[in-house]
Structure 1
Amino acid sequence: MSVPVNPLSTTAVYDVVVVGSCMTDLVSFAPRLPKAGETIHGCKFFIGFGGKGANQCIQAARLGAKAAMVCKVGNDSFGENYIQNFKCNGISTEYVGQTSEASTGVASITVNDDGQNAIVIVAGANLLLNSEDLKQASNAICCAKVVVCQLEIQPAISLEALKIAHEAGVKTIFNPAPATAGLDPDFYKNTDVFCCNESEGAGDSFVGALAFYMAHYPCMEVEEMSRRACDIAAVSTQSQGTQASYPSGAQLPQEFV
């Protein structure tokens, strides 16, 4: 996928820049969730790509947004696989850093027959994304049409990214998830769209779709953007997996994109 370049800068101009997390999902299916200290037999297992930031970036890109991810993964097989996943989805990896100081973030997920789940997250390299990383990506952030942040990296880094974007006149979306108490009031001051969600996978699909519409159809009413993003998120619930369930523009009716 070609990305336009501002003639006054060597920095590529992106529709959507997401500053956030990458997680490798280790998903086990079992008839029920185990009790404390109990071992039970599962019936299915798969490894998937997750993390709120990456999920949102993937959905925006699949709809046609020129997207870049600002994140950090480990210097391990999960990290290498994630970088390749971004490339396969046409997402710029210029600002995807690797570190030997921590593993790529992982989420161990157990799902029962009723669809309820229990999740253990090890954030790993996500928590090492820092101000220097944002400095290196600042031109891309300032030239973007939309910047998206969440709370699976250090909140201070998400806020710093939002401030950089907001001060440059870039539209910002903040997804305050996972929810946290005592949110810095500056998040509200530097956010154009404050977007809460309960459902993780479908919620991330919604945010990614919303970012796409804000970038591609800036004159569209927010209510209409939200309606379309809801419809796209609903499509994602009809397939298994997180990113694997996210529809591309070609899979949707023409009026969506």
Structure 2
Amino acid sequence: MKKILVIGSFTMDLVALTPRAPMEGETIIGTSFQQFTGGKGANQAVAAARLGADVTMFGKLGRDSFGEAHIETLKREGVNYEYILFAENESSGVGHITLEANGNNRIIVIPGTNHKVTPEDVENIEVQIKNSDIIMLQLEIPFDTVYKSIELAHKHNKTIILNPAPAVKLKEEYVKLVDYIVPNETEAAILTGIEVNTIETARKAGRKLLDLGCKNVIITLGSKGVLLINDNEEIFKESFKVKPVDTTAAGDSFIGAFAYSLSHGVEHAKALEYACAVGAITVTKMGAQPSLPNFSEVEKFIKERQIVKVN
């Protein structure tokens, strides 16, 4: 089994459940409030680890109760956290999530220590990058730090998975070094200038990203499914039909599961189907990391839906 290194973010998700999101200037009464460990980097690390992957997490936390909670979570989930840094007099990242009764969400992220992860910090873990096989990245840490991570991962011939979220235009010279870029519909639209709301428009956006030099493009289309495109294949997988409770971390669980599949040498079609199953399970439960399924949950889902197993 190949080793996964996640370089990314931590946030403490503060979730307000409400019948609907308030309009501008409006106050409404919410249903409940909960607190969960999250952040795209940490979510993807935990998602892969719960399935049985060998995962190391790198990022930066504050010396506060939120930071302590993240370390306890990683410890419990079996994620290697020994390289995580702590910033003095800085707060850990926070995510404010308004979750509607239909499962849709609106998220505001206050980066905190996530924006204190520097290119020099990444250079200091070059040995860990060299000793890993798959490097997973997102955009909740500074762009220069992400670019440095891509440089070092490419230097050591590692498989690079980039989740371009929150989406911004990326430098083309770094896109060319990425093995898998995994945006959702909104992110793909920002990256390409093509509005993505159908399989056909996703195909056009995917082809444009390939033209920029990325080796594989995976566009997640929510309830419609997922599309993978490269120079040799095009694969579309429909989503599994479930009743959504909370869509938070659906994309993170998909990416973590896809990386887990790659770490076992699984072909793309099976890896996509497995990741879709993991994403479907995730949206049926509340919270980011609490909703991420473990191996046995996925096995049960697979058996019920008669999906081909990963391993």
Q: Does 1:239 align with 2:285?
A: yes
Deviation of the 1:242 alpha carbon? 1.5
Q: Give the aligned partner of residue 119 of structure 1.
A: 107
How much does 1:14 deviate?
A: 6.8
Supply the AA of the counterpart residue of 1:39. T
Aligned counterparts of 1:131 and 1:32: Cα–Cα separation in 2 = 41
CA-CA distance at 1:223 after TM superposition = 2.3
- Structure 2 residue aligned with 1:6: none
**Are 2:98 and 1:99 equivalent residues in the alignment?**
no
- Kindly, what percent of the aligned residue pairs are identical? 36
Out of 164, 172, 188, the position equivalent to 2:152 is 164
Deviations 1:152-209 (A, max 9, x none): 11111112111111110111101111111x3111232221111112565111111111
CA distance in 2, matches of 1:112, 1:238: 14
Q: Please say if 1:183 is aligned against 2:229.
A: no
TM-score, normalisation: structure 2: 0.74
> How many residues are paired up?
242
**Higher mean C-alpha displacement, 245-254 vs 184-193:** 245-254
Q: Report the secondary structure of 1:98's partner residue.
A: strand
Secondary structure of the structure 2 residue equivalent to 1:148: strand
1:34 to 14, 22, 38: 22
| Greater Cα shift, 73-82 or 224-233 | 224-233
Q: How far, CA to CA, are the matches of 1:14 and 1:67 in structure 2?
A: 9
Give yes or no for the alignment of 1:201 onto 2:242: no
The residue number in structure 2 matching 1:57 is: 45
**What's the offset of the Cα at 1:102?**
2.1
Unaligned runs of 5+ in 1: 1-12
Q: CA deviation at 1:60?
A: 0.8
Letter of the aligned partner of 1:44 in structure 2? S
Would you say the 8 A contact 2:7–2:59 is kept in 1? yes
- For residue 249 of structure 2, give the secondary structure of its aligned residue in structure 1: helix
The whole-number CA distance in structure 2 between the counterparts of 1:183 and 1:89 is: 32
TM-score (normalised: structure 1):
0.88
- Decide whether the 8 Å contact of 1:25 with 1:106 is kept in 2: yes
> Which of 225, 228, 240 lines up with 2:271 in the alignment?
225
- Structure 2 spans left out of the alignment, 5+ residues: 186-221, 223-247, 303-308
Paired with 1:153 and 1:214, the residues of 2 have a C-alpha distance of 24
Letter in 2 for 1:86: L
Task: State the shift of 1:249 in Å.
Answer: 1.3
Contact 1:143 1:170 in 2 (8 A): no
Task: Please state how far the C-alpha of 1:126 moved relative to its aligned partner.
Answer: 0.1
Q: How far is the alpha carbon of 1:40 from its aligned partner?
A: 2.5
Decide whether aligned partners of structure 1 residues 161 and 123 sit closer, same or farther in structure 2, where only a CA change above 3 A counts. same
What SS does the aligned partner of 1:204 have?
helix
d(CA) in 2 for partners of 1:14 and 1:116? 35
Q: Secondary structure at the match of 2:286?
A: coil
CA RMSD across the alignment: 1.8
Change in 2 beyond 3 A, CA 1:179/1:132: same
Higher relative contact order (CA 8 A, sep 6+): 1
Contact 1:101 1:125 in 2 (8 A): no
Partner of 1:250: helix, strand, or coil?
Answer: helix
> Does residue 147 of structure 1 match 2:135?
yes
Cα distance in structure 2, aligned partners of 1:245 and 1:113:
16
Report the CA distance between 1:110 and its aligned residue. 1.4
Judge which range, 236-245 or 142-151, deviates more. Answer: 236-245
Corresponding position of 2:259? 211
